[in-house]
Amino acid sequence: MTWTGLGALWSHWRRNPLQLFTLVAGLALATALWSGVQAVNAEARASYDAAAATLGEGQYDQLLPAAGEDIPQETYIALRRAGWLVGPVVEGQVGPAGGQVRLVGIDPLTAPGGLGPVGGGGMDLPQFLSERPVFANADTAARIEGLIDAPVMIEPSIAPDTAITDIFVAQRLLGAQGRLNRLIVAPDQPMGRAPLEQIAPDLTRRAAQGGSDVGRLTDSFHLNLTAFGLLSFAVGIFIVHGAIGLAFEQRRAMVRTLRALGMPLRRLMALMAAELLVLALVGGVLGVSLGYLVAATLLPDVAATLKGLYGAQVSGTLQLRPSWWLSGLAISVVGAAIAATGAMVSVARMPLLASARPRAWATSRGVVRRVQMGVSFGLLGLAAVLALFGSGLVMGFGLLACLLIGAALALPLVLDGALRAASSLARGVTAQWFWADTRQQLPGLSLALMALLLAMAANVGVSTMVSSFRLTFTGFLDQRLASELYVSAESAEQARALEDFVRPRSTEVLPLLLVDQELAGLPAELYGARIGATYRDNWGLLDSAPQVWDRIAAGEAVLVNEQLARRAGLWVGDDLAIAPQRLLPIAGVFGDYGNPIGQAIISEPLFASLHPDVRATRFGLRTDDAAGLRAALTDDFGLPSNSITDQAQIKAFSLAVFERTFTVTAALNVLTLSVAGFAIFMSLLTLAGMRVPQLAPAWALGLTRRRLGQLEMVRAVVLAVLTTVCALPLGLALAWVLLAVVNVEAFGWRLPMYVFPRDYGVLALFALGAALLAAAWPARRLARTPPADLLKVFANER
Amino acid sequence: MLLSVRDLKKSYTGAEGAIPVLRGIDMEVAAGDTLALTGESGSGKSTLLHLIGGLDTADSGAIRLDGKDICQMDDAARAAVRRSSVGIVFQQFNLIPSLDIAANIAFQARLGGVYDAAGAARLSDALGLGPHMTKYPEQLSGGQQQRVAIARALAARPKLILADEPTGNLDEATAAEVMDQMLELVAQTGAALVMVTHSPRLAGQMGRQLHLRQGLLA
């Protein structure tokens, strides 16, 4: 009985391959975009975890030198002798420019347990100490093999673009004998040891941060990707819902017959669920495979973005992780279950003696309409409440979800109203029939049109955000990167000589003085600035008190970036403690786009009084003759040319990072729009098969098949235009939420919102083009429907 | 006795409250009997047929089919009775549109685990369906589709065949032809036939007739 029942159910798909294709393709597309994004996220997180696990980043307290300084090996020895259980770390770059690898040297005898490949299962200690190899993953190993004078061993757990070795090997390879960069503090320390200030007063202790710094910093980036993946998944599930709804509707008669012939309802439901499970798994496998391609295509750009924005090293190649496969298949099954629940419940509740005639799938049902309207208004109302009174990133995404789903549910009602209005204005008989017929088609097309609405709104919203960001960021770079040249010295001594050298040759020398410290209880950077014409003329402030620059220069006030101001709940006029017992009023807030952490700026003299040991090793130079100054620095001073960067280079680099950041978003945008186009195409194609009984009377009364085909095309355009008109305000609302709510919560800064009517016009043309393309084939099929098929509608005996 | 119906009552709830459709039916059908149920529209003929076939449940009374009271059975047990003992021929044919004719004829027999390919082929030939076995229902005329439905019911070798206006959708000549073939094949299998019809001519072809009026046997 089971196989006979399955055979009957399956025969429906065999006879309706297009429906089967729609269902599987919908599941595959939904799974592909979701699992592609998840793969990218998983790969990035695995890289952060590998870095944290192998280097101890974030897991342990660390002792750090002043900015630009090293830790002398003698300090390390003194600490060990005083009872401090610390492990030394030296790090630097090896390899050619553009393909450099971060080489990290550790001491396996003193590093906290399990740190790195030694002691963690990769190699035993005596072997490590005798061979002293350099560990790296396969990709990195291939890049440094032969370039360094040490054996290279492959260790897959090492973070990408990173190599780990014994500290003495690293010091030799980096030319850093006797120098250390930081000390890792073991969690359990002996009692009664001498305080740090007594043995190494120059070192500062940074507390463990319970996980990798970079992992936390990039959370919002990954959250944005996840949100996009979810949106694409939702669009795909719209397709699946449509396909399953139609298939179940068409099978109502079959279900009744099967039950009448003796198939128990419970068995029938189980078979239908099993059938869906198999289809979901097939769609899932296809989707995960497709997702792998999406992820492999996006990952290099994501890796470049994360490196540029956060300094995070992410492998540029994708690994096939079982958890990712399983989650991809699970999301496909869950998606199918969500899409099929309504149809399954409807079949389960259908009385055996109910009418076997398929309910008009393409006719509106009053109760459903009322429920839909209620849910839509409820969600839009909730969105308004969240926008007015909510706070936090989760609220931001909740607001987005309410707004998008509420608007999508409202779309059929809005379109129905518009079509009704058009119908009442129509004069000709063909026009009246056209509008009435379009209204009748609306329920059947509404899921696809909702998908189009969401895809277009996402496009409008995200492109508005990106373009607003681009405009703001470009202006910001022009302001901020005022110095014609940027130079860096290798040591504090060289920096002093460098400053003496450039002072008479530049109109202004701007030292980069900074320390990492907590401000208002948040991790931040404190800068010392030489306030002069550059700052006064170029820096635009979001908000400021009178005589802001004079007060900063006099050491009477502090300037903070927007991130710090928003996160700490401070603004102009509030006080900020820049050191114990040292409160300064905030005189201004500056925009700092792209920077993940807080910053405060004080005058150079005040900074020097607070941090007398910190010396600038990097400088911005103002000059009218950048080429001449560059030549003098390399020829006369002997500064390596790679220590000099000009303004154009930095701007180009910053903009390149920016563009790559949004390459990912743009790609997801295009994919989402394509999925929506596909949804319309499949809906029109499926409906075309059910249209014959509706079109036959119009044909019999004098409309030619060609004319009917043309009207089908016009119908697609009309619906696409109406949807586009609805998508524009929704997209702008989405952009506002992204810029004013999500961005502020995720990154700590707010962007001004600009509108780009030309871009929206182009997008509308794309949408119309997609609708026309989607309608072309079904319309052609309708126009070529054989008269015999149309006549069958009128036959008594069919 | 193959079928025994005792004091069978059934009502439906409408806007005006409970509407009695069957108000105490008693009847018996022996193996090999052919019985016509006649009556005006709304007299309860189809409801009685549905109750006997286990497609619906009675308010009270008993329907004993082969000694077992199907009124006391749950949905799954009634489904099992339909698979094994009852063949139903509907006015609307109710073929499975996505299965070809051969699969449609074999379908109920397969469900009941009594499929006999040779027997099904003989039935198909006897009903003139041989050339159409690989076609789909939509490619056949109404008369041909009803022949397929009859073949499907007979191929399952049921003890009782229930036919609800089996020729109601066919023209007179085709209806007569289909009816003759059905009666002949039913007689060959030894099954009992209970048929709902409005046609006095068709009713006259059956061994017995029962007339329903306002939910009671007249």
What pLDDT score was predicted for residue A344?
A: 85
What pLDDT score was predicted for residue A359?
A: 44
What pLDDT score was predicted for residue A358?
A: 45
Q: What is the pLDDT of residues A611-634, one digit of tens each?
A: 888 888 889 999 988 889 989 988
What pLDDT score was predicted for residue A151?
A: 85
Q: Which residues of B touch A16 (CB under 8 A)?
A: 98
> What percent of chain A has a predicted confidence (pLDDT) above 90?
14
d(CA B84, CA A5): 15
Dihedral (CA of A30, A35, A38, A40) sign:
negative
Query: Minimum mean pLDDT among A640-654, A730-744, A758-772, B46-60: which range?
Result: A640-654
Question: Is the predicted pLDDT of residue A372 greater than 60, yes or no?
Answer: yes
What pLDDT score was predicted for residue A616?
A: 86
What pLDDT score was predicted for residue A309?
A: 55
- Selecting from A4, A15, A798 the residue whose C-beta is nearest the C-beta of B111 gives A4
Query: Minimum mean pLDDT among A220-234, A518-532, A722-736: which range?
Result: A220-234
What pLDDT score was predicted for residue A794?
A: 61
Question: Is the predicted pLDDT of residue A46 greater than 80, yes or no?
Answer: no
Shortest alpha-carbon distance between residue B161 and chain A (Å)? 12
Question: Which pLDDT band holds residue A218 (cuts at 50, 70, 90)?
Answer: low
As a whole number, mean pLDDT of residues B101-111 equals 88
Of A363-377, A686-700, B42-56, which one has max mean pLDDT? B42-56
* The domain boundary residue, chosen from A207, A242, A274: A207
Burial degree of A508 (CB within 10 A; 0-12, 13-18, 19+): middle
What pLDDT score was predicted for residue B192?
A: 94
Which tokens in the block code for residue A793? 């509608």
- A550 residue type, one letter: D
Shortest alpha-carbon distance between residue A293 and chain B (Å)? 36
What pLDDT score was predicted for residue A375?
A: 92
Whether A640 is in a domain gets the answer: no
- Residues A400, A289, single domain; the answer is yes
Q: Could you tell me which residues come within 8 angstroms of residue A395 by beta carbon, excluding any fewer than 6 positions away?
A: A386, A741, A745
Whether A629 is in a domain gets the answer: no
As a whole number, mean pLDDT of residues A37-65 equals 70
d(CA A143, CA A445): 54
What pLDDT score was predicted for residue A211?
A: 43
Whether A216 is in a domain gets the answer: no
Q: Tell me how crowded residue A766 is: count the other CB atoms within 10 A of its CB.
A: 16
Question: Which pLDDT band holds residue A380 (cuts at 50, 70, 90)?
Answer: very high
Question: Does B96 contact A16 at a Cβ distance shorter than 8 Å?
Answer: no
Question: Is the predicted pLDDT of residue A791 greater than 80, yes or no?
Answer: no
**What residue of A is the nearest CA neighbor of B106?**
A4
A with B: how many residue pairs have Cβ under 8 Å apart?
84
Q: What is the mean pLDDT of chain B?
A: 88
Q: Which residues of B touch A265 (CB under 8 A)?
A: 75, 79
- Residues A723, A589, single domain; the answer is no
Question: What is each CA distance from A473 to A524, A563, A594, in whole angstroms?
Answer: 21, 15, 8
Is A533 in CB contact (< 8 Å) with chain B? no
> What percent of chain B has a predicted confidence (pLDDT) above 70?
100
Shortest alpha-carbon distance between residue B87 and chain A (Å)? 8
Which tokens in the block code for residue A358? 């398929």
Q: What is the pTM of this model?
A: 0.63
Domain ranges of chain B: 30-58+72-211
Is A1 in CB contact (< 8 Å) with chain B? yes
Nearest residue to A52 (alpha-carbon basis) of A216, A295, A296, A182: A216
Instruction: Say how many domains are in chain A.
Output: 3
- Residue A537, CB-side half-sphere exposure with 13 Å CA sphere: 9
Q: Which residues of A touch B12 (CB under 8 A)?
A: none
What pLDDT score was predicted for residue A120?
A: 47
Question: Is the predicted pLDDT of residue A279 greater than 60, yes or no?
Answer: yes
- Residues A158, A289, single domain; the answer is no
Question: Which pLDDT band holds residue A300 (cuts at 50, 70, 90)?
Answer: confident
Question: Is the predicted pLDDT of residue A55 greater than 70, yes or no?
Answer: no
In which domain, by residue range, is A547 found?
A: 485-622
Phi, psi of A649 (to 5 degrees): -60, -45
Q: What is the mean pLDDT of chain A?
A: 80
- Residues A607, A672, single domain; the answer is no
As a whole number, mean pLDDT of residues A447-472 equals 81
Question: Is the predicted pLDDT of residue A25 greater than 80, yes or no?
Answer: yes
Question: Does A262 contact B111 at a Cβ distance shorter than 8 Å?
Answer: yes
What is the side-by-side order of every strand in the sheet holding A152-154? A152-154, A134-136, A162-166, A101-106, A86-94, A182-185, A61-64, A204-206
Question: Does B83 contact A12 at a Cβ distance shorter than 8 Å?
Answer: no
Q: Are A468 and A682 in contact (CB under 8 A)?
A: no
Shortest alpha-carbon distance between residue B172 and chain A (Å)? 13
Q: What is the pLDDT of residues A312-354, one digit of tens each?
A: 566 666 666 777 788 888 888 988 888 888 888 888 887 777 5
Mark A624-646 as b/e (b = at least 16 C-beta within 10 Å): eebeebbebbeeebebeeebbbb
* The domain boundary residue, chosen from A167, A182, A207: A207
d(CA A376, CA A105): 59
Q: Tell me how crowded residue A144 is: count the other CB atoms within 10 A of its CB.
A: 20
Q: Which residues of B touch A11 (CB under 8 A)?
A: 96, 98-99, 103
Question: Which pLDDT band holds residue A737 (cuts at 50, 70, 90)?
Answer: confident
Question: Is the predicted pLDDT of residue A2 greater than 70, yes or no?
Answer: yes
What pLDDT score was predicted for residue B206?
A: 92
Whether A294 is in a domain gets the answer: yes
Question: Which pLDDT band holds residue A308 (cuts at 50, 70, 90)?
Answer: low
- Selecting from A14, A260, A265 the residue whose C-beta is nearest the C-beta of B75 gives A265
Whether A637 is in a domain gets the answer: no
Question: Which pLDDT band holds residue A110 (cuts at 50, 70, 90)?
Answer: confident
Q: Is 0.85 exceeded by the ipTM?
A: no
Q: What is the pLDDT of residues A171-199, one digit of tens each?
A: 888 888 888 888 888 878 887 788 888 88
* The domain boundary residue, chosen from A149, A184, A207: A207
What pLDDT score was predicted for residue A528?
A: 92
What pLDDT score was predicted for residue B28?
A: 93
Question: Does A262 contact B83 at a Cβ distance shorter than 8 Å?
Answer: yes
Query: Minimum mean pLDDT among A138-147, A295-304, A629-638, B53-62: which range?
Result: A295-304
Query: Minimum mean pLDDT among A81-85, A196-200, A404-408, B150-154: which range?
Result: A196-200
Q: Reduced to 3 states, what is the DSSP secondary structure of residue A169?
A: helix
Question: Does B111 contact A263 at a Cβ distance shorter than 8 Å?
Answer: yes
Question: Which pLDDT band holds residue A364 (cuts at 50, 70, 90)?
Answer: very low
Is A538 in CB contact (< 8 Å) with chain B? no
Question: Which pLDDT band holds residue A362 (cuts at 50, 70, 90)?
Answer: very low
Q: What is the pLDDT of residues A765-784, one digit of tens each?
A: 887 887 888 788 888 888 88
Q: What is the pLDDT of residues A413-457, one digit of tens each?
A: 999 999 989 988 888 778 888 888 888 888 777 877 887 888 888
Of A798 and A56, the one with more pLDDT: A56
As a whole number, mean pLDDT of residues A654-682 equals 70
Whether A310 is in a domain gets the answer: yes
Q: Which residues of A touch B96 (CB under 8 A)?
A: 8, 11, 254, 257-258
**What residue of A is the nearest CA neighbor of B50?**
A353
Whether A101 is in a domain gets the answer: yes
Query: Minimum mean pLDDT among A78-82, A252-256, A303-307, A569-573: which range?
Result: A303-307
- Residues A422, A489, single domain; the answer is no
Q: What is the pLDDT of residues A222-253, one digit of tens each?
A: 666 676 677 777 777 777 777 787 777 778 88
Q: Are A277 and A23 in contact (CB under 8 A)?
A: no
Of A148 and A380, the one with more pLDDT: A380
What pLDDT score was predicted for residue A210?
A: 45
Is A260 in CB contact (< 8 Å) with chain B? yes
Question: Does B136 contact A15 at a Cβ distance shorter than 8 Å?
Answer: yes
- Residues A275, A381, single domain; the answer is yes
Whether A554 is in a domain gets the answer: yes
Question: Does A8 contact B96 at a Cβ distance shorter than 8 Å?
Answer: yes
**Bridge partners (DSSP) listed for residue A620:** A486, A510
d(CA B65, CA B47): 17
Which tokens in the block code for residue B128? 């003139």
Is A350 in CB contact (< 8 Å) with chain B? no
- Selecting from A4, A12, A260 the residue whose C-beta is nearest the C-beta of B94 gives A260
Q: What is the pLDDT of residues B128-159, one digit of tens each?
A: 898 999 998 888 888 889 889 999 998 988 99
- Residues A104, A248, single domain; the answer is no
What pLDDT score was predicted for residue A208?
A: 62
- Residues A116, A237, single domain; the answer is no
Q: Are A735 and A751 in contact (CB under 8 A)?
A: no
d(CA A381, CA A391): 16
CATH class of this structure's domain B30-58+72-211: alpha beta
What pLDDT score was predicted for residue A501?
A: 92
- Residues A35, A85, single domain; the answer is no
What pLDDT score was predicted for residue A51?
A: 62
- Residues A245, A315, single domain; the answer is yes
Of A399-408, A444-453, A490-499, B172-181, which one has max mean pLDDT? A399-408
